[in-house]
Copies of this chain bind each other. A is one copy, B any other.
Amino acid sequence: MIVALSHAATEEQIRTIEKRIAKENLKVVRMPGDDRVVIGIISSIPADTRYDLADSLDRMEGVDHITHVSRPYKLASREFHAHDTVVQVGDCAFGGKAVVVIAGPCSIESEEQMLECANGSKAAGATMLRGGAFKPRSSPYAFQGLAKQGLEIMRDVGKQVGLKTVSEVMSPQDVGLVADHVDMLQIGARSMQNFPLLVEAGNSGHPILLKRGPSATVDEFLLAAEYLLSRSDNDVVLCERGVHPLDRTYTRNTLDLSIVPVLKEISHLPVVVDPSHGTGHAKYVPSMALAAVACGADGLIVEMHPNPSQAMSDAAQALLPDALCKMVEDCRKVAEAVGRSI
């Protein structure tokens, strides 16, 4: 942390500030500049305690502003964990050479629909099945999911077809229930900073797909992962799904693909991309899936539906089974071009 003092800070003020820092057992380096004195605080203590210290210092006489130098996360950081983490969910290895394809409907609607989706997804090359039993819907009037009944359908269909399963959990008290039925828990974008849920999911020991919040910075995203990692040796997969867009005329979100190489550099966790929510329209999904594979994503999570115009949610972004097949084939070629496989 760097404390830039104001132009007019007095020696007495500077000493008071240095004493305040010393109280925290932190090392202080004073750097006298031409315009002002700058105080450096160097420490390896996880950073948010230092955010609280920063807030305190910010209030002291003679301080102009505070700048953070270190990153606030540690367990999620590559600096302290040099090798890529591979998250294994049955046969699916996130972070290995193969790009994992997760496919399935937005909502679990019925056993028939799930069977059709699972078969279509498997035929296309997917190795994991997605589908929501608890649906976060902006409107209270929208379909909210089949809950436990949906989870049971998913468990049965997954076993029957031979696909691993992932489904969203929205409430801390449902973590056990969801974990009992599916192979991987999903923390949705709107829940990325639902801290009680992160704690409970972290405690479960289940592998977790953590989606980035719609306005989350990279540091906030990795701090959410840090919540999970700090509870147990969780297997965490990060998922980019689009951030709040400049405008929603053509896409529902702005898929921020540059986060893939950024996360690959600063973190050891696998990174998956969701081009379905990332764009909001089926017609743009294949292009963004190709781009995701090209820039190093370890997996794709895509929505598909045998009959989108009858789907109970997110019909606009669901691929038809044939389109999914074509997309995976095309992604395979790109994966090979960048030294990966599907």
Query: Interface on A for B, CB 8 Å cutoff?
Result: 2, 4, 6-7, 20, 27, 29, 31-36, 38, 40, 42-44, 46-49, 51-52, 54-60, 67-70, 72-73, 79-80, 134, 136-144, 170-174, 190-191, 193-197, 214-220, 223, 226-227, 230, 243-244, 246-251, 254-258, 260-262, 265-266, 278-279, 281-284, 287-288, 290-296, 308-318, 330, 333-334, 336-338
Complex-state Cα separation, A17 to B287, whole angstroms: 27
Q: Please state if A258 and B288 are interface contacts (CB–CB under 8 Å).
A: yes
Known A-B contacts A315-B59, A316-B58; A6 and B79 likewise in contact (beta carbons under 8 Å): yes
Q: Please state if A220 and B138 are interface contacts (CB–CB under 8 Å).
A: yes
Copy number in the complex reads: 4
Q: Please state if A291 and B295 are interface contacts (CB–CB under 8 Å).
A: yes
What residues on B are CB-neighbors of A196 within 8 Å? 134, 170-171, 174
Q: Is the interface of A mostly helix, strand, loop or mixed?
A: mixed
What residues on B are CB-neighbors of A243 within 8 Å? 246, 254
What residues on B are CB-neighbors of A70 within 8 Å? 4, 35-36
A-B contact pairs, 5 of them (CB 8 A): A2-B67, A7-B80, A52-B142, A137-B195, A219-B249
Complex-state Cα separation, A250 to B208, whole angstroms: 25
What residues on B are CB-neighbors of A261 within 8 Å? 283-284, 287-288
Highest count of chain B CB atoms <10 Å: which of A170, A313, A334: A334
Complex-state Cα separation, A141 to B14, whole angstroms: 28
Q: Please state if B309 and A56 are interface contacts (CB–CB under 8 Å).
A: yes
Known A-B contacts A218-B250, A247-B217, A257-B288; A33 and B38 likewise in contact (beta carbons under 8 Å): no
A197 to chain B, nearest CB (A): 8
What residues on B are CB-neighbors of A69 within 8 Å? 2, 4, 38, 67
Q: Please state if B283 and A290 are interface contacts (CB–CB under 8 Å).
A: no
Complex-state Cα separation, A68 to B247, whole angstroms: 14
Highest count of chain B CB atoms <10 Å: which of A47, A59, A143, A227: A59
